[in-house]
Structure 1
Amino acid sequence: MLRTILPLVAMVSLGLFNLGAANAGQVALTSSASVKNDLKYLLYTPDGYEASTESYPLVIWLHGGDQGGSDIEKVKSSGIPKLIEDGKQFPFLVFSPQNPSEELLYPIEKVDSALEEVISKYRVDRSRIYVVGFSRGGFGAWALAEQFPDKFAAIVPIAGGGNRHYLNRTNEKAAFWVFHGSDDDVIPLSDSVVLYERLKTLKRNARLTVLEGVDHSGVEWATLNDAELWDWLLKQRLEEAPQ
């Protein structure tokens, strides 16, 4: 059962969770950005990308703590990359950087540097770049929104947390959808509630969904398998996107 704070508008599913097409693919890469950066990442291109000349939305996926380290294959074991490995396809690019640390938070500056490298090599619609992060990656999603506020049209932290005092740096035109499980015993629900309430005080476009009876491990999949999330996400655009 979902308890959603803020009225939600019913949306029609775009059928994102179909079996993967032959032209869609997810490859492992290492950043070669001019800033010293050896960040490893997965890059997914959707079906039809190679044959098209259009720019595509891009979703940044930030994984939880268990996928950190130096083995990029671990990133495929969870979250959006796992859905892709299982044959799902999406109508957008997916950039999935690996946190090189198994204990520390994401190196946000390196993530941004690698992101700019991806943008320079692929046809990315800069008005439709989104951040989705779970657990430690949820902390990373909040941090990206605060440190690079002019890049992202929407931010989706799942069971994450952060410092509410930095939220005044976020873009007033960006949209936030925060998810957390009511039974999370790893990162307290209150961490997301405090941040959401601060966003509302700042008059940001924000909503909070609390998944009743869901613990820390369950909230990731419950959120990512919610077709309404993807419908909502792809409607978000940054009015003054960088060129």
Structure 2
Amino acid sequence: MKKRAIKLFSHVFVLSTLALFSCSKTGELIPVVPPATPIDTVAKPTPPPVKDTLPSQTNGITVQDVNSGGANITNYLLYIPDGYNENQDKWPIVISLHGVGEIGSDINVVRNTGLPKVVKGKPFIMVAPQCRSNWWNADALEVFYKAIMAKYRIDPSRVYLTGLSMGGMLTWSWAEAHPEHFAAIIPIAGNGDVKQVSKIKNTPVWAFHSANDGTVSVNGSRDMVNALKAIGGNVKYTEYPDGGHDSWTRAYATPELYTWLLQQHK
């Protein structure tokens, strides 16, 4: 009797277990797995480079018109170096400001003085505006600067400013007013405001003057250079013992000047 009871209990246990197992299997929730996203193994074509929309320019020196918002600057000399049209890279540019002797409407007098006279063969763009009357106008120069930057393929980190006599004075004052424009300046036979030199402390400067300049005192350059040196400015200075007011002919004939200039970046 006892063995029969145990056997019956065993059968009941097995049947219960099977029933539970069966319920578990039939009631199990099977998660739905979304199909894997196929991997695109086809190489996508590289988009073509953005083409330069600026027009080609005539190599060498040409005369260009400009609207500076007034009558102070209406035209300028443009020098385009060889390779400008073929090389789509950005180019360094030098803005050259003339002196009192070149004021007027005959742009050829600008062509025969200072940097424009020797620029041929140099590896940079040059623009040399002509002041029509009285004196360089700071507002007109700003309008001119913006027009030039938009018109040519210029490297904004390599914009340089130079000038002689009246232009040398404006080189100092324009750089002090807008140091963010220029990577380096070359003021020749000029003077400036020593109270403002802190604004160009970090602007590389190479100044030139003649000791016996009877038109613009050499102290104009000496004072600016000394003021920059006193605050740790980046300044070079060449003073010729003779030559009178014309210190620019020798300055622009200095090969090391252009090597130094083109090494400067903002």
Return the TM-score normalized by structure 1.
0.81
Hey, what's the Cα distance between the residues in 2 that align with 1:93 and 1:106? 21
1:115 aligns with 2:145: yes
1:201, CA displacement in angstroms?
A: 2.1
Q: Choose from 106, 114, 117 the match for 1:71.
A: 106
1:36, CA displacement in angstroms?
A: 4.6
1:191 aligns with 2:220: yes
Equivalent position of 2:124 in the other structure: 92
1:25, CA displacement in angstroms?
A: 1.4
Hey, what's the Cα distance between the residues in 1 that align with 2:242 and 2:61? 33
Mapping of residues 34-53 of structure 1, within 5 Å: 35-36=69-70, 38-53=73-88
Q: Choose from 188, 211, 217 the match for 1:182.
A: 211
Contact 1:105 1:140 in 2 (8 A): no
Match of 1:223, SS state, is helix
Equivalent position of 1:140 in the other structure: 170
1:216 aligns with 2:245: yes
1:138, CA displacement in angstroms?
A: 0.2
Match of 2:205, SS state, is strand
1:236 aligns with 2:264: yes
Hey, what's the Cα distance between the residues in 1 that align with 2:220 and 2:155? 32
More divergent stretch after superposition (108-117 vs 148-157): 108-117
Hey, what's the Cα distance between the residues in 2 that align with 1:114 and 1:188? 29
1:71, CA displacement in angstroms?
A: 1.9
Contact 1:61 1:131 in 2 (8 A): yes
Contact 1:138 1:160 in 2 (8 A): yes
Q: Choose from 91, 105, 123 the match for 2:135.
A: 105
Contact 1:141 1:155 in 2 (8 A): yes
Identity %: 33
Equivalent position of 2:63 in the other structure: 28
Return the structure number with greater strand share: 1
Q: Choose from 225, 235, 260 the match for 1:206.
A: 235
In structure 1, give the amino acid aligned to 2:78: L
Aligned Cα root-mean-square deviation (Å): 1.5
In structure 1, give the amino acid aligned to 2:157: S
1:96, CA displacement in angstroms?
A: 0.3
- CA deviation vs aligned residue, 1:92-115 (integer Å, no higher than 9, x gap): 0001011122xx331122112112
1:187, CA displacement in angstroms?
A: 0.9
1:160 aligns with 2:195: no
Runs of 4+ in 1 over 3 A off after TM superposition: 35-38
Unaligned runs of 5+ in 2: 1-57
More divergent stretch after superposition (89-98 vs 161-170): 161-170
Structure having the higher Rg: 2
1:32, CA displacement in angstroms?
A: 2.7
Between the two structures, name the one with larger relative contact order (CA 8 Å, sep ≥ 6).
Answer: 1
1:119, CA displacement in angstroms?
A: 1.1
Hey, what's the Cα distance between the residues in 1 that align with 2:233 and 2:142? 23
